[in-house]
């Protein structure tokens, strides 16, 4: 277990370096810019602990990331200004954009789109108007997706967006999409996810020619429901045309092996997988605690020694690799712009990572690359004559 944990830790460090190193290729000297040239809008009233966490994270991002980065805090002006008074920051690098309404975490997306002057709607509108370059929110995921489609629109040809999350493995990160944006994906939409995922994997995680697998209930090509079977044929076609490197069906057990770089799945099942993996470490710790408590005197002693001296560093390393703090949030791929959906219980450090993630997507123009890739292979998605 210890070697695997070390691999996980090394992956975490590598990904962090990938984000920072690649972005620093155009990193200017501090003296070159007194006014930011890149602006990321941050939802100041999104998440479980607003406004303290989003604002603290935004200010920390200005200290740790690019010198020419600016942050626009979106939300009720009085709330934001009251929180800002608790911090020291460069006023040239922070803007406040008023938005009077806060969308609750349990609000339905169909209702959220009708909320006038919400922080999510206003933050996304800034990007559409060219007043910001990206948007980060730890708020209501459904509302972010619905309003991103409304305010930014879809990339030409892309039917539905997808949330992509990199899962840590002992080898390379495995990008899983979708994990919650499109619950009932069609075979065509799964096919489009298979185009978007490798773009993200290659540009952001540095994996050349990433392999693509389709989540199913078995490895054989006839496994799965009708949608999965139709998607399999479409991914085979894309693979034969050189659009992707399709390696066939995969199962849930394959996500954490690292043998497949990109796994395509519908948003419902993907979200279940995501929430399940988030429970691994807490469940393991509870199980270990129960075993120790129910054991004999010497078993308790040696278990204590093992956990304190041997397992604690390992668990901490694995925890660091799995935490949302390291990747910040999930990019909403398929929309015209940069949108990062952070975890509702994000910490300030997670907000920093989310802002950095947005900067990486902006640097590589990931929306533009996805649009070109889809245009190149659009014929694969056209129905055959007679269908």
Residue 289 lies in a domain: no
Phi, psi (5° rounding) for residue 227? -65, -45
The model's confidence at residue 14, banded by pLDDT at 50, 70 and 90, is very low
**Tens digit of pLDDT for each residue in 66-89?**
889 999 999 999 999 999 999 999
The whole-number pLDDT of residue 161 equals 97
Phi, psi (5° rounding) for residue 237? -65, -45
CA dihedral 156, 157, 160, 165 (to 10 degrees): -80
Residue 183 lies in a domain: yes
The whole-number pLDDT of residue 19 equals 43
Residue 383 lies in a domain: no
**Tens digit of pLDDT for each residue in 214-263?**
999 999 988 999 999 999 999 999 999 999 999 999 999 999 899 999 99
The model's confidence at residue 117, banded by pLDDT at 50, 70 and 90, is very high
Structure tokens at 128: 């559409």
**Tens digit of pLDDT for each residue in 172-216?**
999 999 999 999 999 999 999 999 999 999 999 999 999 999 999
Please tell me whether the peptide bond between 51 and the residue prior to it is cis, using omega within 30 degrees of 0: yes
- Residue for token digits 């952070």? 342
Q: Check whether 24 has a pLDDT greater than 80.
A: no
The whole-number pLDDT of residue 2 equals 32
Residue 384 lies in a domain: no
The whole-number pLDDT of residue 312 equals 60
**Residue 334 structural domain:** 24-277+327-377
Residue 304 lies in a domain: no
Average model confidence (pLDDT) across the chain: 86
CATH code for the domain in which residue 83 is found: 3.40.718.10
Residue 284 lies in a domain: no
Q: How many domains does the chain have?
A: 1
Q: Identify which has the larger pLDDT, 290 or 80.
A: 80
**Tens digit of pLDDT for each residue in 346-383?**
999 999 999 999 999 999 999 999 999 999 999 999 87
Tell me the CA distances in angstroms from 126 to 151, 215, 378, 380, one per residue in order: 9, 37, 31, 35
Residue 5 lies in a domain: no
The average pLDDT across 308-320 equals 58
Do residues 134 and 41 lie in contact, with contact meaning Cβ atoms separated by under 8 Å? yes
Residue 293 lies in a domain: no
The separation between the first and the last C-alpha atoms of the chain, rounded to the nearest angstrom, is 52
**Tens digit of pLDDT for each residue in 292-308?**
777 777 666 766 666 66
The model's confidence at residue 10, banded by pLDDT at 50, 70 and 90, is very low
Lowest mean pLDDT among 3-12, 84-93, 330-339: 3-12
* CA angle, residues 126, 130, 133, in degrees to nearest 5: 75
The model's confidence at residue 3, banded by pLDDT at 50, 70 and 90, is very low
Q: Identify which has the larger pLDDT, 33 or 355.
A: 355
Q: Check whether 157 has a pLDDT greater than 60.
A: yes
Residue 206, class by beta-carbon neighbours within 10 Å (0-12 exposed, 13-18 middle, 19+ buried)? middle
Centre a 10 Å sphere on the Cβ of residue 223 and count the other Cβ atoms it contains.
15
Lowest mean pLDDT among 40-44, 274-278, 324-328: 324-328
């Amino acid at each position: 277990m210890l070697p695997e944990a070390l691999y996980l830790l090394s992956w975490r460090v590598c990904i962090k370096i990938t984000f920072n190193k690649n972005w620093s290729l155009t990193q200017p000297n501090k003296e070159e810019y007194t006014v930011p040239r890149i602006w990321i809008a941050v939802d100041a009233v999104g998440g479980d602990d607003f406004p303290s966490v989003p604002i603290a994270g935004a200010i920390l991002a200005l200290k740790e990331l690019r010198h020419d980065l600016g942050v626009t805090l979106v939300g009720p002006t009085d709330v934001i200004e009251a929180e800002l008074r608790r911090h020291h920051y460069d006023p040239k690098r922070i803007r406040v954009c008023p938005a009077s309404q806060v969308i609750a975490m349990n609000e339905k997306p169909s209702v959220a789109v009708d909320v006038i002057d919400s922080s999510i709607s206003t933050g996304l509108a800034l990007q559409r108007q060219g007043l910001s370059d990206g948007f980060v929110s730890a708020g209501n995921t459904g509302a972010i997706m619905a309003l991103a489609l409304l305010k930014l629109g879809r990339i030409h040809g892309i039917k539905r967006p997808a949330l992509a999350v990199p899962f840590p493995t002992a080898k390379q990160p495995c990008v899983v999409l979708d994990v919650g944006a499109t619950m009932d994906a069609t075979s065509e939409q799964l096919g489009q996810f298979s185009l978007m995922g490798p773009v993200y994997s290659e540009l952001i995680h540095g994996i050349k020619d990433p392999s693509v697998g389709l989540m199913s209930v078995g490895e054989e090509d006839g496994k799965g429901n009708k949608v999965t079977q139709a998607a399999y044929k479409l991914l085979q076609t894309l693979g034969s045309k050189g659009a992707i490197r399709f390696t066939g069906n995969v199962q849930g057990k394959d996500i954490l092996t690292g043998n497949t770089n990109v796994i395509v799945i519908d948003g419902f099942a993907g979200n279940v997988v995501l929430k399940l993996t988030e429970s691994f470490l807490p469940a393991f710790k509870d199980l270990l605690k129960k075993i120790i408590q129910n054991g004999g005197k010497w078993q308790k002693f040696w278990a204590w020694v093992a956990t304190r001296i041997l397992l604690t560093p390992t668990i901490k390393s694995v925890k660091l690799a799995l935490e949302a703090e390291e990747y910040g949030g999930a990019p909403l791929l398929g929309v015209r712009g940069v949108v990062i959906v952070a975890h509702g219980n994000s910490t300030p450090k997670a907000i920093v990572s989310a802002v950095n993630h947005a900067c990486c997507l902006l640097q590589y123009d990931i929306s533009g690359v996805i649009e070109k890739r889809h245009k190149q292979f659009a014929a694969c998605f056209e129905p055959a004559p007679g269908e």
